[in-house]
Structure 1
C-alpha cells in the first residue's frame, strides 16, 4: 500500500548519497501531499545531495510561492525555459544552483512573464555622453531627501546619483552642509523643489522623516519621480495615482505590505503577485527590493527579476544609494522600468565587488558602481 511504499522510500533515502527529485512536475500546486512530504523530510535528514528535475517538487512553477512542504535541491536542471519559480523567492531558495538544458523548445518571447537582464542587455541601456554633451544635456537629477535627524540618507542618495550617468545632481533639503562636505560637486539649493532649477527627474523620500510637504511638492512636478522610504509613507496615494509624469516606487517588503494593507509575511510569500498588484494599484513602476528584486510596470507586461546582488547588501543606507542611482538613470532618459532594472543590476554587482564575501557598507557599494558599470560594458 501507500504507507509501505513511503516507508520503503524513506529507508532507501536514508542510505542514499544522491537523490534525484522528480516527484511533481510544473503542474503541481499547493505543496507536497503527505506521503511525498515524508519523503522530503527523509531527504533533508539524510544529508544526500539532491538534483531536481525541471524544478524542486512542491514549489509553484508560475509564481515562486511555496505552500507547504517542498524538496530543497542542491542543483536543479531545467528544460525548455526558465520557470518563474526558479528565479523568484521563496521558491528560488529551494532550487539551489540552476542549470538550463535546451531541448529544442523555444517559447515565444511574448509568452514570457519574467525577464532577467544580462550584461549585454544592461550595456545597451547605459547612457553614454556624446561629443556635444554638457551637464544639462546629460540630465540633472534632483534629490529631495534627508532631515535633521537623518542627514546621512541625503548623502547616500547623492552618492548613488553622482555615479548614475546624469550630468549633475541638485540637492534640496536640510542636509546641504553634510552633502557638500562629502560631495562638493553637488548643486545645493535653498529653494524648494518647485524653484530649485532645471531638473529632469526627482528622488524623494530617503530620510525625509515627517516632511510630507516636500514629498507633495515633488509629486506635483511634471518630471519623473522616484519615491522611496519615508516618501512611500508620506505620499498622498491619490497624488501618486494621478500623476501625469512617470513614477518609480522602490519599497522593501515591509513598505510594500503597508501600501497594500497586508502583513509583511504575505508579501514575502508571494513577491510576484505583490509587485504586480502595487504597480496596478498605484499606476506606477514598482521596484520591490529584497532577496529577489523585482521591477513591474503599470501596464501588466513581463516583470523584471534582478540576477545580481549579495546578502551583504542588506545593510543600512544601501537602499538610499540605489534610489540615487535609479533617479540619475531616470534623469539621463531611461524609462522607469529600464532605470529601475539597470540600477538594481549595477547596485547588485557593485555590492558583490564591495563585499567580496565579507560585511560592507553603503558608501563602499556606491564607490564600486563605476567598476560595475565598466564590468558591464566589458
Structure 2
C-alpha cells in the first residue's frame, strides 16, 4: 500500500529525524537519491547538459547538492537562481566547488538542456509559481529536456492536489521519505509524471495513520471475498439492484452486470427493466417491487437510470442493510434520511453530482477533490466515493481513517454506463461483507484494472466491455 502524509506531518517527522543526525545529513540523503534518479533518466551522465532551477529554501538546496553530484560525474551543470538572496548557501558552495556554474541567461542553457531539475518551490508552496518564475518554467517545459521535479512539481499544492496558478509539469518526480497527497490526486497528479520515492529514513518518524492511501494488488487481494467449502448463494450474500426505467433500461443491465461479477452469490433486481435484465442475465432474481417486498438482501444499490422514482429511494434507505446510492438516486436523496440510518451508506457521485449535493459549482469540486470528498462524507454521515480521473473514497469519521485514492483509472472509462457497472460491483462487495470504504475502493480498483484489460484487447471500449473484463482483473489481482 502506498501512503501519503500532509506537509505538517512530514515536517514534524523531518525535525525529529534531523535531531538525531549530523547537520546536513538529511539533505545529503535526499540529494544522493535525486542524483541517482537523474543519472538513471539520463543513461549517460558524462557530457550531459543539466540545468538546475533553484528557488529559496531546502528544495533549492536539494537540487544544488544533486547538481554537484552530477557535475562531479562529468555532466555540464548550470544553475538558474530564481531567488539569489535566499539561495541555500551550503548547496551553492558545493555546487560551484564541484564545477557547476551559475548562469545569468536561463533561456540559453534551457534551449540545449538534456535534463532540468525543478527545485523552484517545495512542499510548502501555495498559489502557483511567482510571476518571475513563469517564463523560466515555460522555457523548461518547452525544451526537449526531461523535467524532473524535486519532491513535488513547482506550483502545485502538496496537501490538496490543487493547482491554483501556473505550475511546471514534470516528466518525473523524485519525492523524499513519503508520498505527498498532491502526488496522488488530480489535478496535481497530472503534473508529477512518473513518481519515484527515495527513502531517507523518515518512515520510523511518521504516524501509523496516513492522510491518504492507495491500494495495490496485494491489498485488494486480501480484501476480496472468497467462497468457502460450505458456501451457498445466500451465504455469499445477495445484492439488490434498484435501477433502470423505461427510458434507461440499459443502466439496469449494466448495474446487474457489475453486481454479478462482484463476489455476491445472487442478484435481486427490482425495477422497470426486468425484461432487458433477464434477456441478458437469466440468473438474476427479479421482482416487481417495491424493494421492501423483494426478498432478503445483504445490501442495496439504488439509482442508476432510475428516473424520478423517489419512493424507491426512500424505501431502500429505510432498510437495515448497507445501501449504495448512485446517479438519479443522488438527485432524489434526502440528507436527513441518510444521516438517520443505522446501517452504512455509500454515495458514489461524479463531480457534477457531488457539486449538486454540496451546493457548489462543479469547477470547485474538480479543483479541490480531496476537500470535496471529505466534506461530502462529513455532511451526509456516509462513505463518499468521488468518481473521476483519480477516484477518492472518504469515510464518515474524518481524519481517523485515511482517504483512499484509486491509481488504476484510465481515460477510456469516460464512457456512458461506466458508473453503473461500478455501482453494481461495489454493491456486490458490500453484500459479500466488505465495509463501505473497502467495498468502494476495491470496486474502483477492479473497475479501473478491468478497463485496462479491455483496452488491451482493443480500444475504444464500452461499459459492457469493462464488466466482461472484471473476471480477468479479479484473476490478475489474486494470482500476482
Same fold (TM over 0.5): yes
Deviation at 1:128, TM superposition (A): 0.7
Deviation at 1:3, TM superposition (A): 10
Q: 1:293 aligned to 2:394? A: no
Corresponding residue to 2:418 among 318, 331, 336? 318
Deviation at 1:44, TM superposition (A): 2.3
Corresponding residue to 2:475 among 367, 374, 378? 374
Equivalent position of 1:337 in the other structure: 437
Corresponding residue to 2:323 among 211, 218, 225? 225
Mapped to 2, the partners of 1:259 and 1:6 lie a distance apart of 52
Equivalent position of 2:189 in the other structure: 92
Q: Where do 1:165-184 residues align within 5 Å?
A: 165-184=263-282
User: Do the aligned partners of 1:56 and 1:94 also contact (CA within 8 Å) in 2?
Assistant: yes
Deviations 1:87-146 (A, max 9, x none): 000000000111111122205353410011111111111001111111111100000000
Equivalent position of 1:31 in the other structure: 128
User: Do the aligned partners of 1:6 and 1:39 also contact (CA within 8 Å) in 2?
Assistant: no
Deviation at 1:7, TM superposition (A): 6.8
Corresponding residue to 1:49 among 138, 141, 146? 146
Corresponding residue to 2:118 among 18, 21, 32? 21
Q: 1:104 aligned to 2:205? A: no
Q: 1:153 aligned to 2:251? A: yes
Mapped to 2, the partners of 1:110 and 1:250 lie a distance apart of 28
Q: 1:121 aligned to 2:222? A: no
Helix, strand or coil for the counterpart of 2:105?
helix
Unaligned runs of 5+ in 1: none
Deviation at 1:77, TM superposition (A): 1.0
Deviation at 1:224, TM superposition (A): 0.4
User: Do the aligned partners of 1:10 and 1:42 also contact (CA within 8 Å) in 2?
Assistant: yes
Mapped to 1, the partners of 2:402 and 2:222 lie a distance apart of 19
Of structures 1 and 2, the one with the larger relative CO (CA 8 A, separation 6+) is: 1
**RMSD, aligned α-carbons:** 1.6
Equivalent position of 2:334 in the other structure: 236
Deviation at 1:15, TM superposition (A): 2.9
Corresponding residue to 2:351 among 249, 253, 273? 253
Deviation at 1:154, TM superposition (A): 0.2
Deviation at 1:40, TM superposition (A): 1.1
User: Do the aligned partners of 1:3 and 1:35 also contact (CA within 8 Å) in 2?
Assistant: no
Mapped to 1, the partners of 2:318 and 2:327 lie a distance apart of 18
Equivalent position of 2:313 in the other structure: 215
Equivalent pairs, count: 378
User: Do the aligned partners of 1:113 and 1:303 also contact (CA within 8 Å) in 2?
Assistant: yes
Corresponding residue to 1:142 among 240, 258, 266? 240
Mapped to 1, the partners of 2:133 and 2:221 lie a distance apart of 45
Q: 1:361 aligned to 2:361? A: no
Helix, strand or coil for the counterpart of 1:88?
coil
Mapped to 2, the partners of 1:155 and 1:210 lie a distance apart of 18
Q: Structure 1 residues 91 and 6 mapped into 2: Cα distance closer, same or farther (>3 Å)?
A: farther
Helix, strand or coil for the counterpart of 2:319?
coil
User: Do the aligned partners of 2:141 and 2:147 also contact (CA within 8 Å) in 1?
Assistant: no
Unaligned runs of 5+ in 2: 1-80, 85-101
User: Do the aligned partners of 2:241 and 2:302 also contact (CA within 8 Å) in 1?
Assistant: yes
Mapped to 2, the partners of 1:7 and 1:299 lie a distance apart of 53
User: Do the aligned partners of 1:6 and 1:35 also contact (CA within 8 Å) in 2?
Assistant: no
Q: Which protein is bigger by CA-based radius of gyration? A: 2
Corresponding residue to 1:78 among 144, 167, 175? 175
Moved more, 268-277 or 109-118: 109-118
Mapped to 2, the partners of 1:133 and 1:111 lie a distance apart of 35
Q: 1:283 aligned to 2:384? A: no
Deviation at 1:2, TM superposition (A): 7.1
Corresponding residue to 2:407 among 307, 324, 334? 307
Moved more, 28-37 or 112-121: 28-37
Helix, strand or coil for the counterpart of 1:15?
coil
Mapped to 2, the partners of 1:257 and 1:158 lie a distance apart of 27
Deviations 1:235-283 (A, max 9, x none): 1121112111100000000100111111111111000000000000000
Equivalent position of 2:96 in the other structure: none
Equivalent position of 1:64 in the other structure: 161
Mapped to 2, the partners of 1:341 and 1:3 lie a distance apart of 43
User: Do the aligned partners of 2:82 and 2:133 also contact (CA within 8 Å) in 1?
Assistant: no
Deviations 1:289-346 (A, max 9, x none): 0000000000012100001121101110010000000000000000000000100010
